[in-house]
Amino acid sequence: MKRLIQTILTALLATAGVTSLGHAQTMPVPSPPALSAPSYILMDHESGNVLAERNADEQREPASLVKLMTAYVAFSELKSDHLSLDDTATISETAWRMGGSRMFIEVGKRIRVEDLLRGMIIQSGNDASVALAEHIAGNEETFAQLMNQYAERIGMHNTHYVNATGWPDPAQVTTARDIAKLARAMIRDFPEYYQYYSERDFTFNDITQQNRNMLLFRDSTVDGLKTGHTSGAGYNLVSSAKRDGMRLVSAVMGTDSPRDRADQSQALLNYGFRFFRTFRLYDGEEALATPRLWKGGSDSLPVGLGGNLYVTIPERQYDNLDASMQVREPVVAPIGKGEKLGELIVTLNGEEIAREDLIALEDGGEGGFFGRMFDEFMLLFQ
């Protein structure tokens, strides 16, 4: 049924430029739950729409949430074949001496990269984090430069990394919004490695430690991600859950206890799943319109979106979505594939909720001499 509605919406857009799906009875949406956390955010994974937030851009100490970026860099190295799960890293005295939460690796030993990753992700091992950083970049300082470069790519503009562990440093800061962005990027870019975040325990050197994310033990739909705590940061938790095909990400920072961060994260997730729905309105590379191509080798040019378009809206308001296209006129060859030719605007009850570029889905090359001359003449009357 959703696909049928999408097909009808696309057809109407292509022919009329504006689509209104009518108006249905809406379900009231209450305010988000009142939380004591000084900073938090709830975001849909696919659309990036924010469903609840408080001081989400306030810079705070990340504590072990830093290890999300440490893992992101490591996964990037794995994906580019610069690193293998079966590679072994020699444990330095620096890594071995790290305080705080530990995996209990021994100096001089050679440990598999996969074991170090699991020790960092599941046991939050500071020693494992430093060992990975040194193996990938030579030392932790150089590794931190990589972390900041990836943060910039992801759009984490209020984040700065100093080390790979989250060990307190006044210059090391992040925000709830940036952490949620990183979690979305982690899930999107590395689905083959994301599974580590759902593991409840890990045994190394005959020592078994449990994952500190309490939600993994109380909610079967939660499959990640990471806790963090220092005396200055308080208790942090970035979590993700998937129910009925919809995935949400929450980041809660600065709570007073492990139970508080779990309870408040659970409240956010329950609120989002109860009162909102995410829809894929259009597929990327799908022709939404075929405007006339003047002076071209063909008469028309398919126009669409570069990627899938998702929106997250209150429950039972799908029929209140409107969409319109603004396509540049005239479209004159030559046109390169990917060139912006207009915009698609989606509104809900008259309020804009999404605006995406419409691009050429293929090259629009020039036509022959006489065809171009004829179109040049016809354009005088447009």
Q: Tens of pLDDT along 46-71?
A: 999 999 999 999 999 999 999 999 99
Cis check for the bond before 191: say yes or no (omega within 30 of 0): no
Question: Can you give the pLDDT at residue 7?
Answer: 44
Dihedral angle over CA of 106, 110, 113, 114, nearest 10: -70
Question: Can you give the pLDDT at residue 370?
Answer: 75
Per the annotation, the verdict on 124 as an active-site residue is yes
Question: Can you give the pLDDT at residue 227?
Answer: 97
Q: How confident is the model at residue 8 (pLDDT cuts 50, 70, 90)?
A: very low
Q: For the chain, what percent of residues have pLDDT higher than 90?
A: 84
Residues 197-216: pLDDT tens digits?
999 999 998 999 999 999 99
CA distance 83 to 128: 16
Pairing of strands 293-294, 340-348: unpaired
State yes or no: pLDDT of 6 exceeds 80.
no
Across 185-207, average pLDDT: 96
For the chain, what are the domain ranges?
2-25+283-379, 39-276
Across 242-257, average pLDDT: 97
Question: Can you give the pLDDT at residue 140?
Answer: 97
Q: How confident is the model at residue 5 (pLDDT cuts 50, 70, 90)?
A: very low
State yes or no: pLDDT of 375 exceeds 80.
no
CA distance 268 to 42: 7
From the list 39, 67, 129, 295, the catalytic residue is 67
Q: Which residue has the higher pLDDT, 301 or 3?
A: 301
State yes or no: pLDDT of 18 exceeds 60.
no
State yes or no: pLDDT of 292 exceeds 50.
yes
For the domain 2-25+283-379, what is the CATH code?
Answer: 2.60.410.10
User: How many CA atoms are closer than 13 Å to the CA of 236, on its beta-carbon side?
Assistant: 29
From the list 39, 47, 101, 124, the catalytic residue is 124
State yes or no: pLDDT of 381 exceeds 90.
no
Fold observed for domain 39-276 = Beta-lactamase (3.40.710)
State yes or no: pLDDT of 192 exceeds 70.
yes
CA distance 108 to 110: 7
Q: How confident is the model at residue 24 (pLDDT cuts 50, 70, 90)?
A: very low
Q: How confident is the model at residue 116 (pLDDT cuts 50, 70, 90)?
A: very high
- 154, 184 in Cβ contact below 8 A? no
Question: Can you give the pLDDT at residue 27?
Answer: 66
Question: Can you give the pLDDT at residue 81?
Answer: 96
Q: How confident is the model at residue 230 (pLDDT cuts 50, 70, 90)?
A: very high
Dihedral angle over CA of 240, 241, 247, 253, nearest 10: -30
Residue 226 structure tokens = 């990471």
Residues 295-341: pLDDT tens digits?
888 999 999 999 999 999 999 999 999 999 999 889 988 999 999 99
Q: Phi and psi for 338 in degrees, rounded to 5?
A: 95, -5
Across 209-228, average pLDDT: 97
CA distance 193 to 313: 30
Per the annotation, the verdict on 265 as an active-site residue is no
- 67, 52 in Cβ contact below 8 A? no
Per the annotation, the verdict on 257 as an active-site residue is no
How far out from the chain centre does Cα 321 lie? 24
From the list 47, 64, 239, 265, the catalytic residue is 64
